[in-house]
Amino acid sequence: PLAHAELERVAKLLEDHFRDMQDLEFTIQRGQLFMLQTRSGKRTGKAMVKIAVDLVTEGRIDKREAVSRIDPAKLDEVLHPTIDPKARPPTAGKGLPASPGAAIGRIVFTANAAQEWAQRGETVILVRTDTSPEDIHGMKAASGILTARGGLTSHAAVVARGMGKCCVTACTSLRVDAAKKTAMFTTPGGKTLKEGDTITLDGSTGEVFIGSAPLVPAQLGSELGTLMQWVDEIRTLKVRTNADTPTDARTARSFGAEGIGLCRTEHMFFQPERIVAVREMIVATDEAGRRAALGKIMPMQRGDFAELFRVMHGLPVTIRLLDPPLHEFLPHSPQEIEEVAKDIGKTPAQVAARVADLTESNPMLGHRGCRLAITFPEIYETQCEAIGAAAAEVAKEGIEVLPEIMIPLVMVPEELRRLRVLVQTAMDKGLAGAKIPYTIGTMIELPRACVVADRIAEHADFFSFGTNDLTQTTFGLSRDDSGRFMPTYLDGGVVPNDPFAVLDPEGVGALIELGVRGGRGTKPDLKVGICGEHGGEPSSVELCHRMGFDYVSCSPFRVPIARVAAARAVLAEETRK
């Protein structure tokens, strides 16, 4: 008892001295206490938050020090379920940690199967070689997503993060045969799985496990709310969200998002009742045919935008006009081509010919982004008219609407000059006299755009750096394929981080800094943000703070992480001074 009382006295003394929870090593010999070592104790994400708040409550540290002690990345443990670290099973395969959290489910190999199984009460994991926009309904139904290909900014990764779903991409040892409904791990002793088998995913490490692993549920305690109040008192950088649906927008707003920094309009097109009209527009061979199909799409888009404006009442909503290559919306297998032909009243041969016409050798650098509007202006005209009409409709309900129209993939100032006129004309038509202010800006995502940013800024109200594509075009890396060899580069120390996960300060960062300096040299008050996935990565957020950004934008479940990172950036700056 005497030694125990002495241990309690020394433990309190050390905790008071270090002002932190301590991990003590000691021994007792012949009734006497000997202290061997002390260090700040390791802690879970939930414990990290609770200890920081408790220490402030006890008067041992102040709010600013509490925030400085928070590791933003560990907040994933608070926001998502995790695998119990005391009972991790052997790893069957490993890929990239594309979206955090953990998920258990029975595997299915198609989006339709995921939806059907989920409707009958099954918890499923969608396993694909890669996903495409047509898999959205299955991704929504699944509890987790596993792909053999892809990267940290591939379709599966971006969509999963937006939904808050666990996802592992680029599991290169996985061979998926969707036709036979099997998947095989090629690692020594690798197992073949069939539809209905159970697996567990760890989206925070990229590991895949056979069977069910024990999970620790997400635990949002009251301390997190207290901590986030302190965070918001410190940070100067705004945090917005990347959201394409009202559900994503509500989730992000509940996590403290201060607007939408990126609404990808193409994600609105893949619902079954919409994709037919979109394909009809793409297959059309003249402007009249395209406008007829776009006329069917406009009321759908108007409804989408109106609902987003309602959810984000009083906050800015940045809407990116259509960006991906048109062929992404078209079918490719003979069966799919036949189905589409029947839906839109064309022959399979006509649809197949159009698919062939639109297929490109390198679509990410092809006919996409603002290039679509230069060649087919009616596409952006329709979208902007729908945005204007939605803004006017919602404003009549007494809701404050702050639309921001973003034109993607600008490479020369003349593109933005021409399209600004087009966007303004279409917006004003949609507004129909309603006095609603709006801004028109561009996504800076090409190295050339960074170099000539001073001239591009002449036609822009804001810049938003699209760091997914800017990283891709700066490094010359395919964001969908680099996962095949990036682990070797990381393990061998060739690069310190995956540049699609952590913003590269020396190359991509230098281009961004050049772009900011050029843009604000022309317009000192130019609003500057970032809308790539780097907007939720802590070190990248700090870099944006140092470069004088107005905001970062990230997927909904990363908003709290970005808020903490932005506050820590202020504290780090104060320390440097």
Catalytic residues: 155, 531
Q: Which residues pair with 167 in a beta bridge?
A: 99, 145
Question: What DSSP string runs through 299-332?
Answer: HHHHHHHHHHHHHTTTSEEEEEPP-S-GGGGS--
CB 534, CB 497: distance < 8 Å: no
Q: What is the dihedral of CA 517, 519, 525, 530, to 10 degrees?
A: -90
CB of 189 within 8 A of CB of 19? no
**Which DSSP symbol is given to 90?**
P
562 near 535, Cβ under 8 Å? Answer: yes
- List the one residue out of 506, 502, 508 whose CA is nearest residue 471: 508
First to last CA, the chain: 50
Phi, psi angle pair for 458, to nearest 5° = -60, -25
Collapsing DSSP to helix, strand or coil, 442 comes out as strand
Residue 212 phi/psi, 5° resolution? -100, 125
| Helix, coil or strand: residue 379 | helix
Tokens matching residue 7: 């241990």
Closest CA to 368 of 445, 303, 420, 423: 445
Q: Distance (Å, rounded) from C-alpha 545 to C-alpha 5? A: 48
Nearest to 563 by CA among 542, 533, 548, 549: 542
Q: Exposure pattern of 437-452 as b/e (b: 16+ CB <10 Å)?
A: ebebbbbbbbbebbeb
What is the rounded CA–CA span in Å between residue 425 and residue 453? 24
By the 10 Å C-beta count (0-12 exposed, 13-18 middle, 19+ buried), 557 is classed as buried
Residue in 541, 536, 569, 577 with CA at minimum distance from that of residue 67:
569
